[in-house]
């Protein structure tokens, strides 16, 4: 499995420091959250608290860089936070991190521990290649509102990940669509770790993600594709 990912020139111009790591996995075994995945989330929250040392998540240099990028494409970072900041805030709150399923728990733990946005997509549900672009505003985005399936559209100029069928994640890494999300039936996945240089170490985060995926799915085939700057195809 090799999924092509591209970054548009418009996005490169907006955020020249953008970089990403792709982790591809085949033969995964997913399941409901369990004691092992829950422990991983708890450990990530402890690591986060140690890293921040009393600071708010948005005061971390990497998350501050993401906030600046969100502002640059017209998004309000206090209202629509990047996924790493949103998870970090939950990790530090009384309710703690959500338990979703083992695969989602694993990549959420890596996101929190390293303070980098991490997303996971069901590769079997991706149509064609994935592209990071500035939206026209016409692209469909499958989501849920009030318990009902709905199709929304991004704002014109919004940065989105999309495939041939529509948007897979809005506002760069703010909200994932339901069409390609990882479920307990998912066996093929692509994980995307995103950073703003020079404030992050995606190589370490990618290596740890691969290690944890192997622990939960020992027979899976996992490939880590090296960090890539915003210079076209990954």
178 contacts: CB under 8 Å, gap ≥ 6: 142, 143, 144, 149
Position 139 pLDDT exceeds 60: yes
Mean pLDDT of 136-144: 97
Mean pLDDT of 28-46: 98
What is the band of 3 on the pLDDT scale with cuts at 50, 70, 90?
A: confident
What is the band of 87 on the pLDDT scale with cuts at 50, 70, 90?
A: very high
Tell me what the pLDDT averaged over the chain comes to. Answer: 94
* Per-residue pLDDT at 231: 34
* Per-residue pLDDT at 1: 63
Residues 94-120 pLDDT 10s = 999 999 999 999 999 999 999 999 999
- 0.85 exceeded by pTM: yes
């Amino acid at each position: 499995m090799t999924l092509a990912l591209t970054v548009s020139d418009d996005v490169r111009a907006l955020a020249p420091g953008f970089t990403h790591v792709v982790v591809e996995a085949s033969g995964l075994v997913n399941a409901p959250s369990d004691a092992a995945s829950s422990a991983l989330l708890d450990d990530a929250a402890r690591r986060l608290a140690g890293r921040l040392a009393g600071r708010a998540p948005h005061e971390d240099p990497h998350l501050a860089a993401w906030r600046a990028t969100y502002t640059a494409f017209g998004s309000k970072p206090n209202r629509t936070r990047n996924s790493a900041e949103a998870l970090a805030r939950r990790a530090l709150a009384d309710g703690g991190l959500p338990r979703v399923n083992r695969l989602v728990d694993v990549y959420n733990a890596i996101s929190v521990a390293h303070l980098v946005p991490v997303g996971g997509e069901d590769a079997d549900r991706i149509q064609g290649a994935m592209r990071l672009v500035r939206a026209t505003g016409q692209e469909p985005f499958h989501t849920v509102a009030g318990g009902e399936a709905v199709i929304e559209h991004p704002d014109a100029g919004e940065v989105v990940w999309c495939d041939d069928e529509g948007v897979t994640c809005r506002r760069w890494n703010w909200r994932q669509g339901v069409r390609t999300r990882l479920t307990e039936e998912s066996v093929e996945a692509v994980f995307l770790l995103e950073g703003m240089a020079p404030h992050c170490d995606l190589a370490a985060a990618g290596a740890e993600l691969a290690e944890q995926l192997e622990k939960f799915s020992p027979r899976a085939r996992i490939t880590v594709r090296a960090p890539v700057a915003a210079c076209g195809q990954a």
